């Protein structure tokens, strides 16, 4: 048990000492500040709203509270839910859980936690899981349509809800039935500053896609609707868009079809559109005030949305038909009356839609089987309300709370009386405040306030709120729980807080002043018949079904029941339902008005504690015996207080308890022995038992510590003794091992010296002084022989490209191995050269020369390496004219190719044939094969070529004396590497002088008239193609671009 030991404050207020209002609140404050939000009053749970998520609701806590009884763990809502569920499952007792408290106290969350716990601990299975899911998913739907942001709470339930969850004999849920009470439909048309309309309107505008909004004829901006408060369209911590998706998913899980969901949203949109219907003053021909609609577009859109004739809707809003048995009279409504009719229609549509949703959910979750069922009811209803201006809504709410308080007192006393009777203890009548006189004041069939209100509403003649108040003053002038200005004046009392249009009722939780203004209208709750008939004529199935009285065939002149009568009937039915079940109570309290975590307002909690009657609850619970417990549990906890029962007791539990209490000399007036439980009258007696137990535990703890220390010292000594023996034996053994190893080492040393002496003696006897050199020389030669023979067997292939070579087995062979590798490579190269023909040798020499000239300098060189040098690129053998151009002594033509000659004047190119002989470079015309220019090789001064992939080069002459030459030649060749290599070799053979080859991007070309600077640049393409573009830059510069 954790009621006292290790707890924060007092976990059960029945044990509170002293029992006063202040100490009760202080205890709640102490526990709240330590994040202990739950406290017991017997089996009643008091819950404080923490305004934060606490880690006490996961599956670990569900499993923990499922395995323990009510008082074995700290107070928790799961403990109460578990007690109710186990009583229902195991004892076949129908249960009800009553959750009360004012707005913002956490009633809705408490009901969710109860349902989630029951869903977690009940049976499993596909059908069971489906039922549980439907029951749980009803919450998002009812919250969307029945909850709203108020000044006190961001998610306040604006209706009362009672859900009956039905179980089979195994405790698995079969279904349920939901009953709703008094939806605050006035919120549809008007909200206080800082409050919002019902959540559904904001969720619809925020979460619906553009296509759906267009179909519903809505705009996303909440500021465009008269029924919505634009200043509070968003709420911190609430995502309307995501909640709309959750709503749609929940409706699908419950069983709503897509068409039904669409129709529900259309009716919600209709309510929003009605608020934008603006009514203006008009006058009839006879001057009587009438009303009309400023802009008919809104009415037309409503008609298109629900299939309604806009003209009929306009007539129903602006006029009223009075019908008697003989005639009909149509009366025009002024603006005020028309606005009242519009708002009444909007409120009725929304209220009826909400009722339809509840009925539709009930159809989905109702139990279809006829087997015997167990029922657990969960009541989440508004708490006692005292506002600055209390009206009809607060009156009926507080009436309901009076009835619930009456149920609580009667059921608590009844439960106490039944327990006393079961245990065989005499029942003593408990004095308590009976609020039946207040309930009678409100609900008496002939002389109650509700009866007077209905009578005034039905009375012919002029009826007003003031006449209703006058009737109350006359009827209840001497009632002890009724006050008004008239009754106070009669008693010569002065109270400035009491208005002329007010009356006051002394409720069990305090005095509440009610303003009678609008009592008559709110009780009548009338909707003009014209509006009902107009709605029934709509071609919208859902809207039409909400107004069955609009059907002319079902038209009735009988007046419908008033709101007060309907609510009284609902409360009566609810009370009967509660009396038939075993009640469990959750009293919800909000710690502050700002919804701040960790902040506790003493005054606010004190007022709520008075509303809820917590102190009265404790007093009723403590009227007889404050504490009771089964003999077994009591003996298990306190048997250590008696030498007879400690440490072992073999007798019965009751006998053991009597032994314990007898040795403690407890007063007989403080104790009562029942059949299965011990009853203790005063909390002081229990505290005395706890104190004695604490002292005894200290003594036992001292004894246990003493015994443990002695055992630990003996164990430590024995362990040390065993360790000393082990260490001693190990030490002696180790010493002997060391001595043995030392003796062995000495013997081995002596043996080594003896063997060495013998060996040296034999060496001197059998070997000459030079034997060591002979042996080492023999060994070295053997190693060399082995190395060379191994190398012979592992020689690489004779290919000159194979550069593999075995590594030396010893470091001192590295030099010889490297030399052998070089010789072998030279031998392979020689063998390769010996196999080549003279022509192949010549080709290789040309390639070698090209490598020396252009490798790493010319970008096109790598591409030319694998291509053989052909020399003849114009088919010289088939052109005898060109063969005659060389002299007979010149020998064969070394190179014949078509080149492009660059004109120095304009940069244009012309085709020429270049012939290279052993002594000359001949430039001929491609058409008539006539020599244009003949350049002796000894006249070449140098050659200039670029580093790009182009074929541009220049032949620089030492003197301008060649035949047909006008100066240096600027040519373009497709085989520039081969051509310049052959020119270089031919010049070297003819003059024995190396021809300079300059690789540069800028060079000068000499002509008879002067010089020209050639500047080669790379184009945007990076010069990859090698194509040239020449452009003259002034008279002395030629710019060549390599594309």
Residues marked active site are found at: 103-104, 108, 153, 156-157, 383, 385
Helix (H) or strand (E) holding 507: strand 502-507
* CB distance 541 to 263 below 8 Å: yes
Rounded to whole angstroms, the Cα distance separating 818 from 121 reads 88
Q: Which of 775, 422, 442, 405 is nearest to 578 (CA)?
A: 405
Least Cα distance to 350 among 148, 612, 66 occurs for 148
Q: Which residues pair with 643 in a beta bridge?
A: none
User: For 942, phi and psi rounded to 5 degrees?
Assistant: -170, 170
Cα–Cα dist 778/811, whole Å: 19
Alpha carbon 565 to chain centroid, angstroms: 48
**Rounded Cα–Cα distance for residues 934 and 955 (Å):** 12
Could you give phi then psi for residue 337, rounded to 5 degrees?
-65, -40
Sequence-separated (6 or more) residues with CB below 8 Å from residue 983: 895, 916, 921, 937, 940, 943, 955, 995
Compute the distance between CA of residue 192 and CA of residue 229 in angstroms, rounded to an integer.
Answer: 9
- Distance CA(804)–CA(793), nearest Å, equals 14
Q: Report DSSP state, residue 995.
A: P
Q: Pick from 206, 214, 211, 202: which is nearest to 145 by CA?
A: 202
- What is residue 390's DSSP assignment? B
Tell me which residue has tokens 């809504």.
Answer: 393
Angle at 473 between CA 470 and CA 476, to 5 degrees: 145
- CA atoms of 199 and 243, how far apart (whole Å): 9
Q: Among 953, 959, 967, 872, which residue's Cα sits nearest to residue 913?
A: 872
φ/ψ (deg, to 5) at 280: -130, 165
- 685 contacts 666 by C-beta, under 8 angstroms: yes
Tokens of 678: 């011990």
Q: What separation in angstroms does the CA of 291 have from each of 281, 320, 347, 367?
A: 5, 12, 21, 51
Rounded to an integer, what is the distance from CA 269 to the centroid of its chain? 31
For the stretch 461-468, contacts whose Cβ atoms lie closer than 8 Å and that sit 24 or more positions apart, written own/partner, are: 463/520, 464/520, 465/501, 465/516, 465/517, 465/518, 465/519, 465/520, 466/501, 466/516, 468/516, 468/519, 468/520
Question: Which residues have a Cβ under 8 Å from the Cβ of 934 and sit 6 or more positions away?
Answer: 920, 921, 922, 923, 962, 963, 964, 965
Name 432's bridge partners: none
User: Are residues 945 and 923 in contact, defined by beta-carbon separation less than 8 angstroms?
Assistant: no
Cα dist from 228 to 221, 750, 775, whole Å: 10, 114, 117
656, two tokens = 């053991």
> What is the Cα–Cα distance from 716 to 480, expressed in whole angstroms?
82
Element housing 920 (H / E): strand 920-925
Euclidean distance between CA atoms 558 and 546, whole angstroms: 19
Alpha carbon distance 422, 426 (integer Å): 10
Tokens of 954: 């220049």
User: Which among 84, 226, 241 has a CA at the least distance from the CA of 165?
Assistant: 84
DSSP state of 927: T
């Amino acid at each position: 048990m954790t009621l006292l030991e290790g707890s924060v404050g007092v976990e059960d207020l029945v044990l509170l000492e002293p029992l006063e209002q202040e100490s009760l609140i202080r205890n709640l404050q102490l526990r709240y500040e330590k994040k202990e939000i739950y406290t017991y009053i017997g089996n009643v749970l008091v819950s404080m709203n923490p305004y934060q998520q606490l880690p006490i609701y996961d599956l670990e806590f569900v499993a923990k509270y499922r395995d323990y009884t009510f008082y074995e763990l700290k107070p928790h809502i799961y403990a109460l839910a578990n007690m109710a569920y186990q009583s229902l499952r195991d004892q076949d007792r129908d249960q009800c859980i009553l959750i009360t408290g004012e707005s913002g106290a956490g009633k809705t969350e408490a009901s969710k936690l109860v349902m989630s716990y029951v869903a977690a601990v009940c049976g499993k299975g596909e059908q069971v899981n489906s039922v549980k899911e439907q029951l749980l998913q009803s919450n998002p739907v009812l919250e969307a349509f029945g909850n709203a942001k108020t000044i006190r709470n961001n998610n306040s339930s604006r209706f009362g809800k009672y859900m009956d969850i039905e179980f089979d004999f195994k405790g698995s849920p079969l279904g349920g039935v939901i009953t709703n009470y008094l939806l605050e439909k006035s919120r549809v048309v008007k909200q206080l500053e800082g409050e919002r309309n019902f959540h559904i309107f904001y969720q619809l505008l925020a979460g619906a896609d553009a296509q759906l909004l267009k179909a519903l004829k809505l705009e996303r901006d909440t500021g465009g609707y008269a029924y919505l408060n634009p200043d509070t369209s968003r709420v911190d911590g609430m995502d309307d868009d995501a909640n709309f998706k959750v709503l749609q998913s929940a409706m699908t899980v419950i069983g709503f079809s897509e068409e039904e969901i669409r129709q529900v949203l259309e009716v919600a949109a209709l309510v929003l559109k009605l608020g934008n219907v603006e009514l203006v003053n008009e006058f009839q021909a006879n001057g009587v005030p009438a009303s009309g609609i400023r802009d008919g577009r809104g009415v037309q859109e409503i008609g298109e949305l629900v299939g309604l004739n806009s003209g009929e809707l306009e007539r129903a809003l602006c006029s009223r038909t009075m019908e008697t048995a003989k005639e009909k009279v149509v009366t025009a409504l002024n603006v005020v009356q028309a606005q009242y009719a519009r708002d009444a229609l909007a409120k009725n549509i929304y209220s009826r839609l909400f009722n339809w949703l509840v009925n539709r959910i009930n159809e989905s979750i109702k139990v279809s089987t006829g087997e015997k069922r167990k029922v657990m009811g969960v009541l989440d209803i508004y708490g006692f309300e005292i506002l600055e201006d209390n009206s009809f809504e607060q009156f009926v709410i507080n009436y309901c709370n009076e009835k619930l308080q009456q149920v609580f007192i009667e059921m608590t006393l009844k439960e106490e009386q039944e327990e006393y009777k079961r245990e065989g203890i005499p029942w003593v009548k408990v004095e308590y405040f009976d609020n039946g006189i207040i309930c009678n004041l409100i609900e008496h069939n002939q002389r109650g306030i509700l009866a007077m209100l209905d009578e005034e509403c039905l009375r012919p003649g002029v009826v007003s709120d003031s006449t209703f108040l006058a009737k109350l003053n006359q009827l209840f002038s001497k009632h002890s729980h009724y006050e008004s200005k008239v009754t106070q004046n009669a008693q010569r009392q002065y109270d400035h807080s009491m208005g002329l249009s007010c009356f006051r009722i002394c409720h069990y939780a305090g005095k509440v002043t009610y303003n009678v203004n609008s009592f008559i209208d709110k009780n009548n709750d009338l909707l003009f018949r014209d509006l009902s008939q107009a709605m029934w004529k709509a071609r919208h199935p859902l809207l039409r079904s909400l107004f069955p009285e609009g059907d002319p065939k079902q038209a009735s002149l009988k007046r419908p029941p008033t709101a007060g009568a309907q609510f009284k009937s609902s409360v009566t039915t609810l009370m009967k339902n509660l009396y038939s079940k075993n009640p469990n109570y959750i009293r919800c309290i909000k710690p502050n008005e700002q919804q701040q975590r960790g902040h506790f307002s003493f005054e606010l909690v004190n007022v709520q504690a008075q509303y809820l009657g917590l102190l009265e609850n404790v007093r009723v619970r403590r009227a007889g015996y404050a504490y009771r417990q089964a003999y077994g549990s009591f003996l298990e906890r306190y048997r250590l207080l008696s030498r007879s029962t400690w440490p072992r007791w073999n007798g019965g539990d009751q006998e053991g308890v009597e032994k314990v209490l007898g040795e403690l000399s407890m007063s007989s007036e403080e104790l009562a022995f029942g059949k299965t439980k011990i009853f203790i009258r005063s909390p002081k007696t229990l505290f005395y038992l706890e104190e004695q137990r604490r002292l005894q535990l200290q003594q036992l703890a001292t004894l246990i510590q003493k015994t443990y220390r002695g055992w630990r010292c003996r164990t430590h000594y024995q362990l040390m003794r065993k360790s000393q023996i082990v260490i001693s034996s190990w030490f002696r053994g180790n010493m002997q091992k060391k001595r043995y190893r030392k003796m062995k080492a000495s013997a081995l040393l002596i043996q080594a010296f003896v063997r060495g002496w013998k060996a040296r003696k034999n060496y001197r006897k059998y070997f000459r002084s030079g034997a060591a050199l002979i042996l080492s020389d023999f060994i070295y030669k053997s190693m060399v022989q082995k190395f060379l023979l191994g190398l012979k067997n592992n020689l690489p292939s004779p290919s000159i490209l194979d550069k593999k070579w075995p590594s030396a087995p010893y470091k001192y062979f590295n030099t010889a191995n490297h030399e052998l590798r070089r010789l072998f490579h030279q031998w392979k190269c020689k063998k390769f050269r010996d196999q080549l023909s003279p022509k192949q040798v010549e080709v290789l020499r040309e390639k070698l020369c090209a490598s020396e000239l252009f490798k790493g300098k010319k970008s096109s060189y790598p591409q030319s390496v694998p291509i053989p040098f052909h020399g003849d690129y114009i088919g010289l053998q088939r052109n005898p004219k060109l063969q005659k151009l060389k002299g007979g002594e010149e020998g064969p033509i070394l190179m014949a190719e078509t080149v492009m000659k660059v004109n120095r004047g304009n940069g244009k190119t012309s085709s020429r044939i270049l012939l290279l002989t052993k002594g000359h470079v001949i430039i001929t015309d491609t058409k008539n094969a006539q020599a244009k220019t003949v350049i002796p090789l000894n006249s070449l001064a140098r050659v200039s070529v670029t580093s790009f992939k182009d074929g541009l080069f220049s032949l620089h002459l030492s003197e301008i004396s060649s035949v047909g030459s006008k100066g240096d030649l600027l040519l373009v060749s497709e085989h520039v590497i081969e051509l310049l290599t052959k020119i270089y070799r031919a010049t070297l053979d003819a003059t024995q002088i190396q021809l300079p080859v300059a690789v540069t991007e800028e060079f000068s070309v000499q002509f008879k008239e002067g010089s020209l600077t050639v500047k080669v640049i790379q184009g945007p393409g990076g010069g990859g193609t090698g194509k040239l573009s020449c452009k003259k830059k002034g008279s002395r510069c030629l710019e060549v671009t390599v594309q």
